[in-house]
Structure 1
């Protein structure tokens, strides 16, 4: 499959089968994440792969939407602003850019492996940090439910045209 086909294949999955993800697939996905680029190669990220039933239930409570209950696994992408590169001219912190690149590597690698994902950014980050006992400097930035999608209808991707975004 070429890259454009992979990008077209990936969508936000909101219904998962109760099926565990094979270790070799998860290792492949996380290797793709590990190789993601970051500003000045600082790699200011940490990832928690949550499958333990008790911890998973607590984590799901940080995002009170019914559909997330079907996810057999959630990967929590954390960034450390202290580890991130800061642009010298204005001090801009690139941690959020770096974690976004890594998470998209994760989502595309998962799609390639036949798995579905969904970016979740609107969650209780303080509660998430507590559930995972994260260090003070780590910020949980994104929850990524991951698993095998049910046979749901694939939503149409509504995107702006090239003329609307290229100048």
Structure 2
């Protein structure tokens, strides 16, 4: 698909086929996350691939938003290995993990794999449930799977504000 087609057609999939994401597709999606740009090339993000029944059951306990996806990517970052912006109020962790997640969503769409960015969870509870180190912060869980035959975008998907409400030239 052309890039503009990928971004126009991608939607938050909330209904999945039961078949597992094929290795070639998953590898391409993960590679897109690995290649994501990061602040001063810190590459502090980490992706956990959750596919086991036990892991998916934990996800279901922590969030109501798996929608039957056979794979969930948990995207974290190392809070001790971030770029701190001038002024000391912000660091690069959330944005770098978010960029990686976005690239993986778009790579999934390009390969016909549905995705849904899940942020309906308590990051501390997720970190504890999966036994992650205290220095890791969970930014997103990305549902992945082939869309069910009757999957479709939400009614709000195509509603977009006009560009002049979103962009100001200074």
For the criterion TM > 0.5, the same-fold answer is yes
TM-score (normalised: structure 1): 0.93
Question: 1:93-132: CA deviations, max 9, x gaps?
Answer: 1111111111000000000010011111120222211222
Partner of 2:18: 18
Which blocks of at least 5 consecutive residues in structure 1 are unaligned? none
Q: Is the 8 A contact 1:55 1:131 kept in 2?
A: no
* DSSP 3-state at the match of 1:56: helix
Please show how residues 88-103 of structure 1 align to structure 2 within 5 Å.
Answer: 88-103=86-101
Q: 1:69 offset after TM fit, Å? A: 4.5
Q: Is the 8 A contact 2:78 2:137 kept in 1?
A: yes
Once the two structures are overlaid, the 10-residue window that deviates more, 77-86 or 32-41, is: 77-86
Give the count of matched residue pairs.
165
Q: Is the 8 A contact 2:16 2:151 kept in 1?
A: no
Question: 1:21-50: CA deviations, max 9, x gaps?
Answer: 111111111111100001101011111000
Partner of 1:152: 151
Counterpart-to-counterpart distance in 2, 1:64 and 1:89 = 38
Q: 1:64 offset after TM fit, Å? A: 2.7
TM-score (normalised: structure 2): 0.91
